């Protein structure tokens, strides 16, 4: 049971890495609709992967162990970045809606935190790539 769960997490991280690369490529078009569509497809893919426990596209990545390591590390950074962004966003959204309902002005320290999300996401990506290089070097040395 634990092995299947670990494999599912690896597949989820790989899917997150694929989303990271695709969203980075399409980020240059500055289209909110396109970025939203890509994120929607990513969420649907995650749900499909969790239900079926397999995703045909990810079998292609299994053939390339180095690519798989890099995608998994980027995927871990994507999920951590989403968690760091979504939780405060829900808090700010709830508190600002409540303040608007009560007719008071809303000012929160969370807004300052959310202004640094892009910098934190970039730092997570850099750290993920450093970890991926380290893991890939260890994998290559263990193959010798």
User: Which backbone phi and psi does 70 adopt, to 5 degrees?
Assistant: -65, -45
Residue-level pLDDT at 144: 73
pLDDT digits (tens, 9 = 90+) for 37-66: 888 998 898 898 888 888 777 888 888 888
CB atoms within 10 A of CB 47: 10
Q: How many domains does the chain have?
A: 1
Going by pLDDT thresholds of 50, 70 and 90, the confidence category of residue 105 is confident
For the ranges 26-30, 63-67, 127-131, the lowest mean pLDDT is seen at 26-30
Residue-level pLDDT at 134: 93
Residue-level pLDDT at 1: 58
Report how far residue 38's alpha carbon sits from residue 23's, in angstroms, rounded to the nearest whole number: 7
Average pLDDT, the chain: 84
Range of the domain at 73: 2-143
- Average of pLDDT values for 9-25? 87
- Average of pLDDT values for 3-26? 85
Report how far residue 59's alpha carbon sits from residue 61's, in angstroms, rounded to the nearest whole number: 5
Q: What is the pTM of this model?
A: 0.76
């Amino acid at each position: 049971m634990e092995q299947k769960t670990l494999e599912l997490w690896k597949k989820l991280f790989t899917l997150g890495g694929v989303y990271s690369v695709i969203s980075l490529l399409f980020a240059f078009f500055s289209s909110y609709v396109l970025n939203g569509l890509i994120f929607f497809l990513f969420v649907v893919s995650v749900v499909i992967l969790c239900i079926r426990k397999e995703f045909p596209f990810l079998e292609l990545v299994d053939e390339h162990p180095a690519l798989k390591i890099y995608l998994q590390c980027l995927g871990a950074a994507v999920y951590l970045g989403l968690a760091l962004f979504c939780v405060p966003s829900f808090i700010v959204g709830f508190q600002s809606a409540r303040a608007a309902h009560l007719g008071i002005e809303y000012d929160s320290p969370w807004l300052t935190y959310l202004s640094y999300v892009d910098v934190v996401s970039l730092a997570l990506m850099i750290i993920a790539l450093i970890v991926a290089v380290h893991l890939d070097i260890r994998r290559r040395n263990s193959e010798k």
